[in-house]
């Protein structure tokens, strides 16, 4: 990263000035005037001061072993991190602590997972890759059930605690036990813009491990603008589920993309309440709202596209259902801008007509002449499908089938 961009990044964070076009902070991101920045690198040491020249290691930075005040930013440098990583940092509602990959660099937590535990609160985690390296053929077991003893590994992200936390634009893939495990100790938190694929394992009874496994009781959990897929039948893209002793309440689930296999479930053995499922885009994935509970309280299920799948709403006393499409559109492009990063959007393309290409109007996200990169969601760091200046605010995207999930990025 050049010195001009570095100065712009640090100046925006430290000064708390209004966002300038092209900066790395959007208006939705709280900033604190004068808040410090700290740095982490794979070769960092816990005894260092946490500067760019002498960075910390990742484990000590996340565990709160250093004085990191509310509003601070911990920049994670590019490279691979292995170890045991727990977030125990605590910000404030108006001054969350930001943990972000250094812009333009690939920071990967490999074969380790990331856990959010007490006393974590008001932490925003951005742009990290949380991945496993175990190949699919070694993620198989002859043991049935959900707790195999012969498969080493972990979930990509385990969230057991924390109020007001956000997990933004994470890339979570190829983890042995699943993508995200998100429990009731976390409240009023959000998963936004994340891409989750190829997580879980295969057993004789079925596939196990889900893109997102989540429960909630107090406050509202929001799952928005995420892209989810799973490789095995029996796994779930969204598994908002629990037994009769668990809670599946107070969810906002909107603007997500799910494909490959499924299902997309919100419900369990205990009655659910306050469920909102809006503008989700599914292909080959069934949507099920409600499970075995004898009755549920209230849900709103609106404007979802469920192609080559079914919609089931089970045993709700109060249902608002409207605008759902239960077929494969001949041609439909849905552009979903990222709420926190104005340079990023997700794109769902339906092509029931089997046309060789789908035209996408990308305005106002891209204006004529803006440079861009278009990448496959499951190959984020791979070769772009298209790149260059946007000629007229529209893209013509070649298609080989009925559906594609893509990421559109404004280029610097």
Query: Mind listing the pLDDT tens digit for each residue in 370-379?
Result: 999 999 999 9
Are 297 and 309 contained in the same domain? yes
Q: In this model, does residue 227 exceed pLDDT 80?
A: yes
> What is the domain-level CATH number for residue 366?
2.60.40
Are 296 and 185 contained in the same domain? yes
- Residue 141 and residue 183 in contact, taking contact as beta carbons nearer than 8 Å: no
Count of domains for the chain: 3
Are 371 and 319 contained in the same domain? no
Range of the domain at 191: 132-327
Q: Give the residue-averaged pLDDT of 49-70.
A: 97
* pLDDT greater at residue 308 or residue 154: 308
Are 69 and 118 contained in the same domain? yes
- Residue 186 and residue 161 in contact, taking contact as beta carbons nearer than 8 Å: yes
Q: In this model, does residue 32 exceed pLDDT 90?
A: no
Whose CA is closest to 125, among 31, 191, 47, 60?
Answer: 191
The per-residue pLDDT for 5 is 30
The per-residue pLDDT for 254 is 98
Are 183 and 35 contained in the same domain? no
Bridge partners (DSSP) listed for residue 364: none
Band of pLDDT at residue 146, cut at 50, 70 and 90: confident
The per-residue pLDDT for 348 is 98
Are 96 and 32 contained in the same domain? yes
Are 61 and 159 contained in the same domain? no
Distance, in Å, from the CA atom of 49 to the CA atom of 67, rounded to the nearest integer, reads: 10
What are the angstrom distances between the C-alpha of 317 and each of 10, 252, 274, 294?
Answer: 52, 19, 11, 11
Please write the tens of the pLDDT for every residue from 239-269. Answer: 999 999 999 999 999 999 999 998 999 999 9
Q: In this model, does residue 17 exceed pLDDT 50?
A: no
Are 165 and 228 contained in the same domain? yes
Q: Give the residue-averaged pLDDT of 114-134.
A: 97
Distance, in Å, from the CA atom of 260 to the CA atom of 258, rounded to the nearest integer, reads: 7
* pLDDT greater at residue 49 or residue 2: 49
The per-residue pLDDT for 262 is 86
Of 278, 299, 327, the position where a domain reaches its end is: 327
- Residue 219 and residue 187 in contact, taking contact as beta carbons nearer than 8 Å: yes
Are 109 and 165 contained in the same domain? no
The per-residue pLDDT for 117 is 98
Of 113, 131, 149, the position where a domain reaches its end is: 131
Are 375 and 395 contained in the same domain? yes
Q: In this model, does residue 282 exceed pLDDT 80?
A: yes
Q: In this model, does residue 16 exceed pLDDT 60?
A: no
Are 147 and 260 contained in the same domain? yes
| pTM of structure | 0.93
The per-residue pLDDT for 24 is 64
Distance, in Å, from the CA atom of 12 to the CA atom of 138, rounded to the nearest integer, reads: 46
Across the chain, mean pLDDT equals: 92
Q: In this model, does residue 19 exceed pLDDT 60?
A: no
Band of pLDDT at residue 15, cut at 50, 70 and 90: very low
Distance, in Å, from the CA atom of 200 to the CA atom of 181, rounded to the nearest integer, reads: 12
Band of pLDDT at residue 336, cut at 50, 70 and 90: very high
Are 157 and 265 contained in the same domain? yes
The per-residue pLDDT for 8 is 29
Residues with Cβ within 8 Å of residue 400, at least 6 apart in sequence:
none
The per-residue pLDDT for 135 is 86
Q: Give the residue-averaged pLDDT of 384-396.
A: 95
Band of pLDDT at residue 31, cut at 50, 70 and 90: confident
Of 312, 327, 342, the position where a domain reaches its end is: 327
Q: In this model, does residue 205 exceed pLDDT 60?
A: yes
The per-residue pLDDT for 191 is 98
């Amino acid at each position: 990263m050049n010195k001009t961009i570095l100065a712009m990044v640090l100046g925006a964070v430290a000064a708390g000035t209004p966002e300038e076009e092209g900066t790395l902070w959007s208006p939705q991101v709280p900033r604190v005037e004068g808040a410090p920045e700290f740095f982490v690198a794979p070769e960092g040491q816990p005894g260092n001061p946490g500067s760019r020249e002498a960075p910390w290691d990742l484990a000590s930075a996340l565990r709160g072993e250093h004085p990191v005040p509310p509003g601070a930013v911990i920049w994670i440098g590019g490279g691979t991190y292995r170890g045991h990583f727990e977030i125990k940092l605590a910000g404030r509602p108006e001054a969350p602590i930001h943990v972000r990959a250094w812009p333009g660099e690939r920071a990967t937590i490999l074969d380790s997972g990331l856990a959010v535990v007490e006393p974590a609160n008001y932490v925003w985690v951005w742009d990290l890759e949380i991945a496993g390296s175990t190949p699919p053929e070694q993620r198989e077991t002859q043991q049935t059930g959900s707790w195999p003893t012969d498969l080493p590994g972990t979930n990509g992200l385990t969230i057991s605690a924390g109020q007001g936390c956000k997990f933004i634009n994470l890339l979570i893939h190829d983890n042995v036990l699943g993508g995200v495990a998100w429990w009731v100790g976390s409240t009023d938190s959000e998963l936004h813009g994340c891409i989750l694929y190829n997580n879980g394992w295969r057993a004789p009874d079925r596939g196990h491990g889900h893109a997102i496994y989540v429960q909630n009781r107090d406050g509202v959990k929001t799952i928005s603008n995420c892209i989810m897929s799973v490789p095995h039948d029996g796994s779930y893209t969204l598994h908002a589920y629990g037994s009769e002793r668990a809670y599946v309440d107070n969810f906002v689930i909107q603007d997500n993309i799910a494909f490959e296999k499924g299902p997309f479930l919100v419900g369990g053995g205990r009655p659910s309440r306050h469920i909102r499922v809006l503008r989700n885009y599914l292909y080959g994935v069934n949507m099920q709202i409600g499970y075995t509970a004898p009755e549920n309280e209230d849900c709103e299920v609106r404007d979802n596209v469920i192609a080559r799948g079914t919609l089931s709403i089970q045993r709700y006393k109060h249902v608002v259902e409207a605008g759902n499409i239960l077929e494969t559109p001949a041609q439909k492009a849905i552009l979903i801008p990222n709420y926190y990063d104005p340079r990023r959007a997700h794109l769902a393309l339906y092509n029931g007509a089997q046309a060789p290409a789908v035209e996408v109007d990308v305005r106002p996200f891209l204006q004529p002449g803006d440079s861009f990169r278009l990448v496959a969601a499951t190959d984020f760091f791979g070769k772009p499908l298209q790149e260059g200046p946007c000629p007229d605010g529209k893209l013509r995207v070649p298609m080989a089938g009925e559906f594609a999930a893509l990421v559109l990025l404004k280029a610097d």
